[in-house]
Amino acid sequence: MLDTGFMTTALALGARNLGHAAPNPSVGAVIVAHTAAGSLVVGRGVTHPGGRPHAERVALDRAGEAARGATMYVTLEPCSHHGRTSPCSQAIVEAGIARVVSAIEDADPRVRGQGHAQLRAAGIAVEVGLGGVEAFRQHRGHFLRVTQGRPAVHIKLAQTADGIAARPGTRLMITGRAANDRVHLMRAHADAIMVGVGTVLADDPQLTVRLPGMDERSPLRIVVDSALRTPATAEIVRTASAWPTWIVATDNAPIAAEQALRAAGVEVMRVAAGPDGRVDLTAMLQLFGSLGLTRILCEGGPALAEALARADLVDEVTLITASHAYDGREAGIAALGPALAEALAGEGALVRFGEATAGEDHLAFWERTR
């Protein structure tokens, strides 16, 4: 029971910097001295913004000599390779940690069991698997990046009680304040928010985190815009100097439009077009992975969500359903396209794993299992 509680604390620490530790995973670590008088937390750590220092080193520094003979609870296998600093596994050994409870083995080929092996070789007791399900969810983007070269894609969609979303080019208010706040928290835990150009043209969104005390947690903003139709007057362009913005186009998009966007501070990226003449989404995500992104929240609406589903690039889905139906069906479309609807019905790699309520709205969650 004690182990479970301390691992839960480590997972909560790791969750704090989700969206801010890329290109590294956001890891949580807790060091506990177990004595006859009881158990005392002597060090805590979370991976710092930008990925360094690692959580284990932060916790060890805070514990100091109290780390000797103590137990470390960590949400990911400690690194075992030399990078900018010596391996965390070496630091753990040198600090005199007696036992390590690790949630999950790292999928990074540079580590993949070697960190645990080095600790065991030094005489440290190592236990792996406690909290592994939640740890996998937190580190999904890291695992995908080191094994497939791309970030995790989390789709957020909203629909009325009868399954309607806004038609491309139109705006439709569906969810309430509580659900919207939940979405802003999801944004704060993403490396980037991604939408299609249709969302920009219809809603002119800001795509920032607007929760009290979280102004600085707004992530990178990405627009998938094959033909560079995003106007220079769009909110996402006018605020590009305050919040970094990427627009992804095909090689055929007009140069003049690119120059105007770059002059406004937008980073324009070009990738090859797919068979439909639009941005090749697989190539785009590979580019994002090479640039260090691990977690992307897609709020782009039904069209982009369906395109990602057809390409089998969806790793998580949050579907928010309002309590009210929509009467003017002529102004709306089905929130779920055929490919995504099939995936959510259990016909593919996505499995429903939970639900919640936010005010009068209902949230359901799916994740990739293979």
Write out the binding residues for Zn(2+). 54, 79, 88
Indicate the pLDDT class of residue 36, thresholds 50, 70 and 90.
confident
> What average pLDDT score do residues 270-294 get?
98
Active site residue 56: yes
Query: Does residue 55 carry a pLDDT above 80?
Result: yes
pLDDT at residue 311 is higher than 70: yes
Average pLDDT over residues 17-45: 95
How many angstroms from the chain centroid is the CA of residue 6?
24
For range 21-31, the mean pLDDT: 98
Tell me how far apart the alpha carbons of residues 103 and 330 are, in angstroms, rounded to a whole number: 50
Which pLDDT value is given to residue 95? Answer: 98
| Average pLDDT across the chain, whole number | 94
What is the per-residue pLDDT across 61-100, written as a single tens digit (0 to 9) for each?
999 999 999 999 999 999 998 777 789 999 999 999 999 9
pLDDT in tens, 202-215: 899 999 999 888 87
Please spell the DSSP secondary structure of 46-105, one letter per residue: EPPGGG-S-HHHHHHHHHGGGGTT-EEEESSPPP-S-SSS--HHHHHHHHT--EEEES--
Which residues define the annotated binding site for substrate? 187, 203, 207, 210, 299
pLDDT at 40 over 80: yes
331 has a pLDDT exceeding 70: no
pLDDT of residue 164: 81
pLDDT band at 28 (very low <50, low <70, confident <90, very high): very high
Per-residue pLDDT at 222 exceeds 60: yes
Tens digit of pLDDT for each residue in 254-271? Answer: 999 999 999 999 999 999
Q: Report the SS3 class of residue 245.
A: strand
Residue 37, pLDDT score: 85
Q: What pLDDT does residue 169 have?
A: 60
Structure tokens that stand for 58 in this block = 């932060």
Q: Which of 56, 77, 105, 316 is catalytic?
A: 56
What number is the average pLDDT over the span 98-103?
99
The annotation places the binding site at: 54, 79, 88, 158, 187, 199, 203, 207, 210, 226, 299, 301-307
